[in-house]
């Protein structure tokens, strides 16, 4: 916990609470322990969660959220103002801004909630009447703990922080994964779900390392690999499949976020860089081998999951992922396939 933060509870418990987290997969997933704490503290309250369109399924159907309020993609200024005006009619008792960006701050302000909780910042401090420091002199704070510190302002309690929790797959989603795994020849088989990208060059492990790892898992442990990733990872998928001496099944760009969770939940192991899918995997019981490049496990390690962290200790870590000081992305490229394979052995 953040030792500088005094919990503050109100005499009247809030009846409706607005929660805001715009973008991205991992950030949204890491708010879910805070949802559990709010639900336990205020079982009669209605919890509303503002989420952007591409990530709605991470919140829709969540057992601790009464309603997902979906912000459409590519919303222009006029449409955003209309969204704010519709939102303010809901009359929320409290609003918690998990995000802290400009749009999230406007949503918090226009909610007209009596209690508005957010991070202590110079530019947007006026938006919130309950402010929480995001850093501590005591050391690094995990992102999950930062989110929980915000809701502690409402609950006035310091409970044990639960695991990550996401909506379960619907029957049609689970049935589709049954079919796709059968088509891939993996039904009933032991396999590793291998996430092949992380969205930018700073976290990107190259194809040759993935290939070496996949071949060692298959040849030395008899474990198949199933590639997973987004539509943007199709080029990396083609590169790996084109160079592999044996067929490698792939669902890259073919499944939704909750279907991805279903796949990972059926795998013997998840392997991938610090990314949204890594945090999705932490909401399952599947063990994780996580590759950390420019980010630090102290902030973003898989929360309360069975995991092995593989990293390269460099003085330039962490970085803002805008410019590589050494120009070679040594933090992620310095992780060898052999080192990742050795970490996998702990779970195989």
The model's pLDDT over 224-274, given as tens digits with 9 standing for 90+, comes to: 999 999 999 999 999 999 999 999 999 999 999 999 999 999 999 999 999
- Say if residue 174's pLDDT is above 60: yes
Residues 6+ apart with CB under 8 A from 12: none
**Is pLDDT of 329 > 50?**
yes
pLDDT tens-place string over residues 103-125: 999 999 999 999 999 999 877 77
- Edge-to-edge strand order for the sheet containing 67-71? 67-71, 46-52, 16-20, 94-97, 115-119, 130-132
d(Cα 198, Cα 275) in Å, to the nearest integer? 6
How many other C-beta atoms can be found within 10 angstroms of the C-beta atom of residue 345?
Answer: 13
Q: What is the pLDDT of residue 326?
A: 87
CATH number of 16-155: 3.40.50.2000
- Assign a CATH topology to domain 171-345: Rossmann fold (3.40.50)
The full DSSP string for 209-238 is HHHHHHHHHHHHH--EEEEE--GGGHHHHH
pLDDT in tens, 63-87: 999 999 999 988 899 999 999 999 9
CA distances from 32 to 26, 38, 44, 148, 223 (A): 10, 10, 18, 9, 32
| 171-345 shares the fold of 16-155 | yes
SS3 of residue 72 by DSSP? coil
- The 10 Å Cβ neighbour count of residue 226 is 23
For residues 220 and 286, what is the distance between their CA atoms, to the nearest angstrom?
21
Cα 204 vs. chain centroid, distance in angstroms? 17
- The model's confidence at residue 3, banded by pLDDT at 50, 70 and 90, is very low
Q: What is the pLDDT of residue 73?
A: 83
**pTM of the full predicted structure?**
0.95
CA atoms within 13 A on the CB side of 156: 8
Sketch the domain layout of the chain as residue ranges.
Answer: 16-155, 171-345
DSSP three-state, residue 125: helix
Q: How far apart, in Å, are the Cα atoms of 166 and each of 38, 101, 215, 274, 282?
A: 15, 24, 32, 18, 10
Read off the pLDDT of each residue in 279-291 and give the average, rounded to a whole number.
98
The alpha carbons of the chain give a radius of gyration, in whole angstroms, of 21
pLDDT attached to residue 136: 82
What percentage of the chain reaches a pLDDT higher than 70?
A: 97
What is the average pLDDT across 178-187?
Answer: 97
Cβ atoms within 10 Å, residue 52 = 17
Q: At what angle do helices 207-221 and 337-345 cross, to 10 degrees?
A: 40
């Amino acid at each position: 916990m953040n030792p500088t933060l005094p919990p503050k509870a109100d005499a009247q418990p809030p009846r409706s609470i607005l929660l805001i987290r715009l973008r991205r997969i991992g950030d949204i997933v890491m708010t879910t322990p805070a949802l559990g704490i709010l639900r336990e503290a205020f079982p009669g309250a209605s919890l509303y969660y503002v989420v952007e369109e591409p990530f709605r399924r991470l919140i829709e159907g969540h057992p601790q959220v009464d309603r997902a309020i979906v912000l459409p993609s590519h919303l222009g200024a006029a449409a955003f103002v209309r969204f704010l005006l519709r939102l303010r009619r809901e009359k929320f008792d409290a609003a918690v801004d998990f995000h802290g960006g400009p749009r999230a701050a406007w949503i918090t302000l226009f909610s007209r909630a009596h209690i508005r909780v957010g991070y202590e910042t110079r530019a947007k401090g006026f938006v919130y009447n309950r402010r929480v420091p995001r850093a501590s002199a005591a050391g690094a704070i995990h992102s999950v703990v930062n989110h929980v510190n915000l809701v502690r302002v409402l609950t006035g309690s310091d409970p044990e922080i639960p695991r990550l929790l996401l909506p379960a797959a619907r029957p049609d989603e689970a049935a589709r994964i049954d079919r796709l795994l059968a088509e891939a020849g993996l039904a009933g088989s032991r396999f590793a779900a291998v996430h092949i990208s992380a969205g930018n060059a700073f976290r990107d492990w190259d194809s040759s390392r993935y290939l070496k790892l996949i071949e060692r898992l298959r040849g030395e442990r008899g474990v198949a690999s199933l590639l997973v990733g987004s539509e943007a990872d199709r080029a990396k998928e083609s590169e790996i499949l084109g160079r592999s001496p044996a067929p490698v099944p792939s669902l890259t760009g073919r499944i939704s976020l909750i279907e991805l969770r279903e796949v990972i939940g059926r795998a013997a192991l998840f392997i991938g860089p610090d990314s949204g899918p890594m945090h999705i995997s932490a909401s399952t019981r599947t063990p994780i081998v996580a590759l950390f490049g420019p980010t630090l496990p102290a902030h973003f390690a898989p929360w309360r999951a069975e995991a092995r962290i593989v990293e390269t200790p460099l003085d330039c870590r962490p970085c803002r992922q805008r410019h590589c000081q050494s120009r070679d992305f040594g933090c992620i490229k310095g992780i060898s396939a052999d080192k990742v394979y050795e970490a996998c052995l702990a779970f195989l």
